[in-house]
Amino acid sequence: DTHTLIPSDMPPGICSQYPDPKQIQGNIQTFICSQEYLRHYYNLKKEQPLARIKRYLPSFTSKVKDMQSFFGLNTTGSLDSETLEVMSTPRCGVSDVEDYSHNNRVNRWNKNVITYSIGRYTSDLPHSTVDSLIESALSVWARASTLTFVRSRTQRADIMVEFATFEHGDAYPFDGAKGTLAHAFGPGEGIGGDAHFDDDETWTAGSKGFNLYLVAAHEFGHSLGLRHSQNPESLMYPTYKSSRSSHNLLSKEDIAIINSLYGKEETIQQIQILNNKCSADLSFDAVSTLGDATFFFKDKYVHPPCPINNFMPKIESKIDAAFWVPRRSTAYLIHESIYWTVKGSIVKGKPKPISNFGFPPWVQEIDAAVHIVKTGRTLFFIHDIYYSYNENRRVMDAGYPQYISDDFQGLNTIIDAAVYKDGFIYFFVGPQVYKYDYTQKQVVGNEKANTWLGC
């Protein structure tokens, strides 16, 4: 307990000066550089110079475990060789646990045309090569979204690109060769969006040194509002990988996130409405129970707002209608003329044509579907008509289609979504939900769709 921690302002890059982590295991310098790493990337609080080690070690160990968990290592809390190897790997200077944006509330630009400008260049490459690599790195994100990047010759661009060394005016000094390669700030005014590259690195257009195109593409992800990913396949993984292919840089996760931030304008508005779950305009494309949970689909998203293919990777499109058959523990998700069979969150096999249910060829899309447990029937709603499907015999009932208005008194409109709960059918029509008593054959209640999200 009489030992004190040696105070140090050593940058995290000190770790990268030891190519073999085994050489520094147990060394006091290891402890010092790992402190700096955890302060910079995992929010380890800086202790007073005479802090006693017994009081300090629990928080230090906790942050080591956080770092090990992020990188998928064994969460031992000790500085083993595997942990030190990751700590000594050159990486992005953005924190893995905190939002590095200029103002912590903004996570996207409120426009789809983004300007950029290159200030100080590196002497490692010709200016024309730097220009080309920066343009190519931005194009990675442009191809996966509706974003357009326009070069500006002024100092007032959204994304300012600079090469600098050590302290360079933003309170995040660089650390010399290796260690921190670059950092960028999330969307916002002033320094927001800017990307800085450590000019003590050796910047190249190939496999030697550090490939500017690969590092810049990662940093521009931050400039656009993306955080670090724990997925090693993601471009937004924090450590540098020289083996990464220069083609198809973005993982499915990267593409899903950039699309959720910068989709088509109408999609953005819908995401914002979904994020504001208590909006009076909230509406859904499909609603279904899956087990004990209820899922709300809108465009290519499922509430709470995340891309459907994050939850069900095989599904890349929006869902028009969905229903749950409890005795099979199976959900059916319909998009236009095809449907997927889902158990849990596992999509079974390939999509099948809705003609399997017995629809005539002219039926190419479904507005809503709902399974009635009491009768064993699934009802499919299409414009002003509906069909009844016998789930036991797996055939369409005779005498259909029928008009919705004839059999569902009080519903004289196209149905957006429907779900069966506690003996009632709930019909979603725009932001309204009609509670329908299937036994009495009448609407017995009316509420806003947002009440289903606790509003």
Active site residues: 219
Binding site annotation covers 322?
yes
Q: Does 33 belong to an annotated binding site?
A: no
- 194 in a known ligand binding site: yes
Alpha carbon separation from 63 to 21, 77, 79, 281 (Å, rounded): 19, 8, 11, 43
Q: 303 a known binding residue?
A: no
CA 174-178-184 angle, to 5 degrees, is 45
Whether residue 445 is annotated as binding a ligand: the answer is no
What sections of 226-379 are H helices per DSSP? 252-261, 265-275, 308-311
Which residues contact residue 124 at a Cβ distance below 8 angstroms, ignoring those fewer than 6 apart?
199, 202, 203, 204, 209
Residue 222 is assigned to a ligand binding site: yes
User: Annotation-wise, does 201 bind a ligand?
Assistant: yes
Is residue 285 part of an annotated ligand binding site? yes
CA 444 to chain centre: 40
Q: Is 228 labeled as ligand-binding?
A: yes
26 is in an annotated binding site: no
Residue 40 annotated in ligand binding: no
Per the annotation, does 368 bind a ligand? no
Tokens 């290891």 appear where?
Answer: 30
CA–CA gap between residue 124 and residue 147 (Å, rounded): 30
31 Rama sector, left if φ>0, alpha if ψ -120 to 50, beta otherwise: alpha
- Tokens 């369409």 correspond to 396
Structure tokens at 352: 């099948």
According to the annotation, is 175 in a ligand binding site? Answer: yes
Kindly give, in sequence order, each residue whose CB lies less than 8 Å from that of residue 269, ignoring residues fewer than 6 positions away: none
66 is in an annotated binding site: no
Burial class (CB in 10 A: 0-12, 13-18, 19+), 453: middle
Q: Which residues, including other chains, have CB under 8 Å from residue 445's CB and lie 6 or more apart?
A: 434, 435
Count of C-beta atoms within a 10 Å radius of residue 116: 21
Is 383 annotated to bind a ligand? Reply is no
Residue 397 annotated as part of some ligand binding site: no
Two structure tokens written together for 219:
């940093």
Known binding residues for Ca(2+)? 124, 158, 175-176, 192, 194, 198-199, 201, 285, 320, 322, 369, 416
Known binding residues? 92, 124, 158, 168, 170, 175-176, 183, 192, 194, 196, 198-199, 201, 218, 222, 228, 236, 285, 320, 322, 369, 416
Known binding residues for Zn(2+)? 92, 168, 170, 183, 196, 218, 222, 228, 236
